[in-house]
Structure 1
Amino acid sequence: MAGVVERRSIDVVPDSERYGTAFSQFTLWLGANLQITAVVTGALAVVFGSGAFWAVIGLLLGNLLGGAVMALHSAQGPRLGLPQMISSRAQFGVRGAAVPLALVIVMYIGFFASGSVLAGQAVGELTHLGDTPGIVLFALVTAVAAAIGYRVIHALGRVAGLVCAVTFVYLGARLLQRAELSELLADRAFSLPLFLLAISLAASWQLAFGPYVADYSRYLPRSTSARATFWWTLSGSALGSQWSMTFGALAAAAAGPAFTGHEVNYIVGLGGAGVMASFLYFVIALGKLTINVLNTYGGFMSMVTGISGFRGQRLLGPRARAAYIAGIMVAGTAVALIGKDSFLTSFKDFLLFLLTAFTPWSAINLVDYYLIAKERYDLPALSDPNGRYGAWRWKALSVYAVGLAAQLPFLATHFYTGPLVDPLGGADISWLVGLAVPALLYWLLARDDDTAPEHTILTAERTPEPRPQTQDTA
């Protein structure tokens, strides 16, 4: 067991502990996306008024666009050997990175809660204990798996990917026995706002992986091709999510009002009763376990990253690790129990909120890593508030604030609608603004920064004292 339980947290993974191939990203992200919450996300496009035909096309565009951004983050993992949000210190400062990290932690708790609602229904049916005990039991299993760490997460992805793929083929066939595909796709009426909603739902789904995707590629050997990491990550995530979301859109079109509020029972009902129903409840719980473990593990990494920026601690003992994970589990479970009766509306708004919060961060991180630093970071300095990157970097923090504010006029949610939404016919294009404005602004402000080293500086133990700061020609 000692070789299975992970010892690393936010410290650099040394080359001697690296292993695996880029294909592992395909199996992990395929398994993480073949699950019930992705089904519900796809169904939302239809529930809120779109026909299945245009919903599926919009979801595909969103998954490809958002997935490409997410996969660019994944490619940073083998190069740096660090969790994703640590690299944000190069843009925001060692302590300034706590600002986007606060929103990231909210994201993890929210996704933990939403996943627990749906998986809790499945566990409750499977064990005959009911929804609330099912949510609590599922949360406990999630916490244990997250505490074990990286190896069990990838193992879960492989198993869930295979089991859920076979199950979704079966459920798809059962759905098409109830309704003709041509009938489900017959409604070709086009609505730009609804089409953009479908794109936004899928894009937000993919972009929300950005703050932790490199956490699961950082153990790959440093020699792993960035291109291979990018394509295997994009392929697994886009295929798994589009498969699930297409099924959800078609199921919502076939079921009509019977789907809303009874998502798990409707899907299980497609498969039959008795032993098959029990198996389907198990598959739903298994699929959600994979992604909820990712969210819990990512939340743990983000909390450690935020706090260590002020405390300077990088290494954690087993008790501290368990305490962080338990905190996320308790908070997520509480939110799940409070919000389980208004799940669909709350989840749609939560997804769009995430999109608003993380597109500016993603734009800043990618522009800095690929265009300004040219993939060269001083890794020891990422833990030193008095070092190369400083404690607070106001350029990035200011651009992040501008990126958040720039989206508000274009944002359409249940609790807030921006003034420019109606002139655009009700379309929500906030995520496009949230990517473009911060990316351009940060590049203009930071392109002459000379904080990037001449080459990637690995660990203090493996390198001499950092060279004096040099002028970067990028």
Structure 2
Amino acid sequence: MVLSKSLGPECSSSPSFSRFTPHATHPQDIICLAPIEQRAQSLLSYTIDLVKPISPIYSPLSFAILQEMASTQDSPLPPLEQTDSRPATDIEKAASMSIASKEDIAPYVEQRQAEEAKDVASFRGKLAAFTIRLSRYGVETRGVVPTTLEARTDTRIWNLFFLWMSANFNILAFSTGSLGPAIFALGLKESILIILFINMLSAMLPAYFSTFGSRLGMRQMIMSRYSFGYYGNIIPTLLNLITITGFLILNLILGGETLAAVSGNKPDLDDGLSWDVGIAIVGVAALLVTFCGYKVLYAYERFAWIPIVMVYIVALGCGGKHLTNMPPVIPASSVTVLCFTASIAGYLISWSTLASDYTIYLSPSAPAAKVFAFAYAGFFIPNTICEMIGAAFAVSMFEPKNSAWIDGYRVNNVGGLLDEVMRPAGGFGKFCIVLLALSCIAASSQCMYSFCVSFQCLAPFFARVPRYIYSVVAIAISIPLAMVGAHRYYTSLISFTGVIGYWAAAWASIVLVEHVVFRKSYKAYDAAAWDTSSSLPTGISALAAFAVSFALIVPSMNQVWFQGPIGRSAGDVGFEVAFGLAGLLYAGFRFVETKVFGAGKV
């Protein structure tokens, strides 16, 4: 649709204002406004008529903004993208820039009041009005539309370190580190070496993908469309939703079990806080943070790590004298080493699929090296410390003199273990355990936030639903599943961290090859094509590489529920195969694709 035709023939020759619409694929699809003072009324009328059929949910929202503008003395029309969780069209943006006072729009507001009154009284209208009110209180209403250069003004790169510090300095990382001695029968030395070196390598991927947000202003799953295509990207987006939900469930389980351990809960006695109630408490607390959005999330995560660091220091003070290096029952083998490696790597690599969600407001002038460094430190430092502490306490609980530790572990998993470790501190120790349980809120909040964003990336219809509604959906799904999965926590943790590493490694390799080999620069991404399927790659190459790589990944798996022939004899090497093979296949397939369809595809 060409706006210049609607505004008159004289518009097409004017140099006053022109830009391509987000869906424009040809030079003739240009919005031209000239002269502005003569065309403003026609433009506004056209905008109001256009908005309603495009989105039945947001028609009342768009009109309500115009109506509010008409009643405000000498107030310019606010940019629609700041109060709308769907992508604002260039027509709407043009209207916001070209109309300066209430006199310009008052006649049109009056003209449409009778018709809009019905919508305002409906559910759609109430939702739109509620969204406007929330935005006034600072609740983020932006969806998945890429942020403009004007919106990317944040220069506080160091905040990125604290964000990931809070998300990873928690009891889930402690639990992941404890897998080495507790499940795979590894000694302390083997566990610490694996944790150190695997984290050093794995943290590079999410840290590198963090740099894309400030350069492109795109959510991670939107950026993925430039490799997988518009429709092909639905598959990794669905997998990402499953991964995020899994992490959210694990955090809720750990937080709930730890709260139950503090209250003196015993499975055979009904004398304390149940796991289910603890799970609900952690879930609702995380929902409050996520509902408000980006700014509140960053404000909370900036400080959430501080009490958790103090808790771990207290835990080492209480239990440090009881730490011992118990020799493993059986010598370490390639199978146990590689299976533990897969769990550690899968836990960290999976952050890659949502890393840029938290850098879209950073200034494009922020040095990429600094963004990478702060993100890398935020991933590597807390995970390595927490996992090493978890491994140390897990090894020591097998010491006969620490029998109370293993009893607590058997009753309430790592929450029970830490409760016994902190018992010498009395009431203060209980308080510290509560803080440790609440550390799951930080990670759960980020999981829920990216769940909302990923859901909006599935299809245009989902993008029209406000982001904050999906946070309620996420917690409604996760709390019941966490209550069910709490009784098989370690089995769930091992299976989950291993499996997510397979697809996340394959996805990361494909997107990395696309950027490094084929695009070579951030300038090679056409941000205006983010929601135009005809301008994006077909996705055939990415989907083919992704699917074919699993032909070798499956035989390389070694999980509780499945062991492939390679994985059974050598150990779980699925994520290594996924990362290497998917990238190589994609490079070949993409080269052929560019020859067949042309290199013009963005």
Q: Does the TM-score normalized on the shorter chain lie above 0.5? A: yes
Distance 2:368 2:464 in 1: 28
What letter corresponds to residue 149 of structure 1 in structure 2? G
Secondary structure, in 3 states, of the residue corresponding to 1:212?
helix
Distance 1:162 1:154 in 2: 14
Other-structure match for 1:362 = 508
> CA distance change for structure 1 residues 105 and 471 in 2, over 3 Å: closer, same or farther?
closer
Match status 1:346 vs 2:492:
yes
What is the aligned counterpart of 1:331 among 477, 480, 489?
477
Contact 1:117 1:340 in 2 (8 A): yes
Match status 1:266 vs 2:400:
no
What is the aligned counterpart of 1:389 among 533, 536, 546?
536
What is the aligned counterpart of 1:433 among 577, 583, 586?
577
What is the aligned counterpart of 2:449 among 275, 284, 297?
297
Secondary structure, in 3 states, of the residue corresponding to 1:329?
helix
Distance 1:208 1:470 in 2: 31
Shift of 1:96: 1.3
Give 1:417-428 correspondences, 5 Å limit: 417-424=563-570, 427-428=571-572
Give 1:29-68 correspondences, 5 Å limit: 29-47=164-182, 48-68=184-204
Kindly indicate whether structure 1 or structure 2 has the higher relative contact order, using CA contacts under 8 Å at least 6 residues apart: 1
Distance 1:361 1:294 in 2: 20
Shift of 1:434: 0.3
Other-structure match for 1:218 = 360
Contact 1:81 1:218 in 2 (8 A): yes
Give 1:207-286 correspondences, 5 Å limit: 207-256=349-398, 257-258=406-407, 259-260=409-410, 261-272=412-423, 274-286=426-438
- What is the TM-score of this pair, normalised by structure 1? 0.88
What letter corresponds to residue 319 of structure 2 in structure 1? L
Identity %, equivalent residues: 22
Distance 1:15 1:315 in 2: 23
What is the aligned counterpart of 2:459 among 294, 307, 310?
307
Distance 1:86 1:41 in 2: 30
Other-structure match for 1:204 = 346
Comparing 1-10 with 195-204, greater Cα deviation is found at: 1-10
Give 1:9-28 correspondences, 5 Å limit: 9-18=143-152, 19-28=154-163
Match status 1:132 vs 2:276:
yes
What letter corresponds to residue 210 of structure 1 in structure 2? S
Match status 1:150 vs 2:302:
no
Distance 1:229 1:12 in 2: 19
> CA distance change for structure 1 residues 277 and 102 in 2, over 3 Å: closer, same or farther?
same
Distance 1:153 1:231 in 2: 21
Give 1:96-115 correspondences, 5 Å limit: 96-115=232-251
What letter corresponds to residue 332 of structure 1 in structure 2? S
- What are structure 2's unaligned runs of at least 5 residues? 1-133, 264-271, 399-405
Secondary structure, in 3 states, of the residue corresponding to 2:547?
helix
Match status 1:163 vs 2:307:
yes
What letter corresponds to residue 147 of structure 2 in structure 1? V
- What are structure 1's unaligned runs of at least 5 residues? 452-468
Count of residue correspondences: 444
Distance 1:126 1:428 in 2: 36
Shift of 1:49: 0.9
Shift of 1:184: 4.8
Contact 2:181 2:391 in 1 (8 A): yes
Shift of 1:173: 2.8
Shift of 1:139: 1.2
What letter corresponds to residue 253 of structure 1 in structure 2? V
What letter corresponds to residue 223 of structure 2 in structure 1? S
Other-structure match for 1:455 = none
Secondary structure, in 3 states, of the residue corresponding to 1:383?
coil
Whichever of the two has the greater Rg, that structure is: 2
Contact 2:185 2:328 in 1 (8 A): no
Distance 1:14 1:156 in 2: 25
Deviations 1:115-153 (A, max 9, x none): 101111234456753221121122122122111111222
Distance 2:557 2:229 in 1: 29
Shift of 1:105: 0.7
Match status 1:78 vs 2:214:
yes
Shift of 1:430: 0.9
Contact 2:155 2:366 in 1 (8 A): no
What letter corresponds to residue 145 of structure 2 in structure 1? D
Shift of 1:287: 1.4
What is the aligned counterpart of 1:402 among 531, 548, 551?
548
- What is the TM-score of this pair, normalised by structure 2? 0.70
